[in-house]
Structure 1
Amino acid sequence: MELHHFSHTHPLTFYEGPENTYCSGCLESIVKESSYGCSQCDYFLHRRCAELPREISHPVHRRHPLLLQPYQQGLDCVLCRRSGQSLVYYCSLCYFSLDIKCAEILPPVIQSKTHEHPFTLLCKKISFSCDACGRDGSHSPYVCTSCNLTVHNHCISLPRTIRIIRHEHLLKHTFFLHESESDWRRCSICHEGLRADRGCYHCPACDYAAHVHCATRSNIWDGTTRDEQDDTESSEARLDSIIRVVKEIKLGEDMIAAEIEHFSHEHTLIFSNEVKDDKGCDGCGIPISSPFYSCEGCDFFLHKTCAELPRNKLYPFHQHTLTLQPKSPHSNRVLACNVCSIYSNGFSYNCERCSFNLDLRCSSISDTLTHQAHEHSLFAFFNRAALRECKGCGALEKNGLGCHECGYVLDFKCATLPLTAMHSYDDHPLKLTFQDDSDQLECDVCEDKRNPNHWFYSCDDCGVTIHPECVFGKYPYIKVGDTYTIDSHPHSLRFVKKTEKYPSCNSCGQPCTDLALECAESECSFIVHWECVALNKS
């Protein structure tokens, strides 16, 4: 069956069932619905859109009938202000347009999912600011006289809660922010101004707020909704899928898991508060600190926070769900993070479809960061054309976190540096220091000069100052002792850090300082810089 439709030059063929495409009339997906389409031009219409009457009378515009016609530039819908749909109802005498969705006869009273009272249609031309989304309107709003709210007709159907890829918690719709410090703040997505007395989506736990039109963009929200109970249950399910509690003990007022089985390790892990010297977390690669779990027989350690990570995670700047990948003792799993470019051999979040890898440090940063080094919030940016200088180390980066108030920038490497660290040079914990007020402008480890504008680690008691790279090494998140294999050598290799008696690299001939791969066979003297291996990988 074919239909000759005025909106398209070719006949449209009738299809029964899903087409897995979009309707050019209303821009909504065609799923399990009858449709008409031209496969040659990829032009499809829902059957209901294709069979719309050519002329209607509408209560919003009573003076003249409205004629269905193809969209032209400037024929934006007077109710929702949207453009781009191929079909609109139009009055040429009054330059009045309705898209076909808004042309459906509006009910006089309607109940919103985001408000406790019903809304009543005010069917007349009137300028207003929508209390649900913050944008202006010019015709036929719905009003709640009990609460003095005025909203667009399409904002009546806004979902109460949504989950977006930019934030880990559910966002709730609110008509205004109760405890805002001022009438204006910034949207957490576009970073432009957001009125605190206008509708937005908000996370009370994090004070994360976004424009309605930003939070509901198709590349940020997939259109599905979930309530708080579903979200809690799914979070518990994600945790249960990677941890099984074997034994619990009471610590103070709390019950904690004293022994667990973790999906990343074959043996049970024991809870501990006693810090182990020179041990790194097999999850994030950062030196171990309390509280943590360990399998000391295998030299396997996990921070408690790393052990309790969710199996699946949304990342603000990737469109697919990421899956936690454990450390594997039997494979060459050393990955460069797609955000900070730093190598690590611990856990990572991975999107197999896109070959996207994210280390745990970068995965801990949302699209907004509050850091002790700066008074304002920092917002993530990616793949900027112009490189920006990191205030922590001076590196020029295309990925980082920037301040919209004053232009302050941090790269992800500096933004994820631990605030405290230990080093054999000093018995005390070293503090990450952002401002240099000392007269000591040399690193006590390498004895080179420090740039006074860059971050360093220091000890107030001893006056020690050390470069971050001298504290952690050039490759701080690859665990020493782990095994690795390369094609050019027949034996297994293990990661080592040479601090004295530097042998020559079998690849470049230079002394092996810092991280190297050494043959695990005692009678074999093969050694190679990790940097030489990494260059061959890339």
Structure 2
Amino acid sequence: MCLSPKPTIKGEIHEHPFILFWRQVPFICDACGTSGDCVSYICSPCGLIVHEKCISLQPFIKRFPRHSHPISHTFFLGKHEIETGKCRICSEEVNSNHGCYCCSGCNYLVHANCAKKDYSLLTKTVSDNPACQGHEHILTFYDEYEGQCNGCVNELVVAFACKECNFSVRYRCLRLPNKILHKCDEHPLMLTYHEDNSYSKYHYCDVCETKRNPSQWFYHCAICDNSVHRKCAIDKYSFMKIGKTYTATEHPHPLTFVRKVFDYPECHGCHRHCEDLSVECLQNGCNYIVHWKCIDPLIYLPGPSI
């Protein structure tokens, strides 16, 4: 039996009730910024149109797992004096004309649907498995917690903790992959929870060549005896292969991925020195180079993915 949609719904997300709009026309939801072609709800005084499911969005998330401050829902970023930017979860652009969650003090933005999906993990008890860092007991979420994270040794204010022993982790450590491929080693690097070697000369990262805290989890290859900081193993360019060539429509020659170590030429995009991952033209007589972050990936022609 199909239930008829409610004619009026009042949610906490908005001061006025939403009225059922029977005509099924394509629309962009003002609460979440995604499209819809089903029955919608409108607020005529404010000119808003939303999905029925979005009326139940929380107006305020006090403890969001990825951010240290509360985040609030807004239908218009402009009233918070925040410029548009990229979602901190999916890295896609946040449309300032539609709803999202934000922390106005930090210019922190997340899509409404990304925030909802992430926050839903906090309402559940997490069963222990390799993705829960190999701990043998069940972990439960606590929205108020004092202690130290077993993964990164930072102080906790919220945590996934074990009721049976003194084990607790923050959300980011809980989500770390158990195994990862990295260009520094031909074998997979495994997430490692304990440093078995007590000699301090072994407590170094084989990527950045700086000291490691032996109390923190790290990635390790037992075959090659390579140990790597977590941040070095899964940074934003971990899977980028230096020397790979791409063809761009805005430059006549092939461009090659490079990382400058000694010489820092000026980026043709932002005019700052290229101290980060860049693409460079190796054609004789051409000195074109630009930061990878300065290039919109959409300008590239189809080719091997990175």
TM-score (norm 2): 0.49
Select the structure that is richer in strand.
Answer: 1
TM-score (norm 1): 0.30
Higher relative contact order (CA 8 A, sep 6+): 2
Q: Report which of the two structures shows the higher radius of gyration computed on alpha carbons.
A: 1
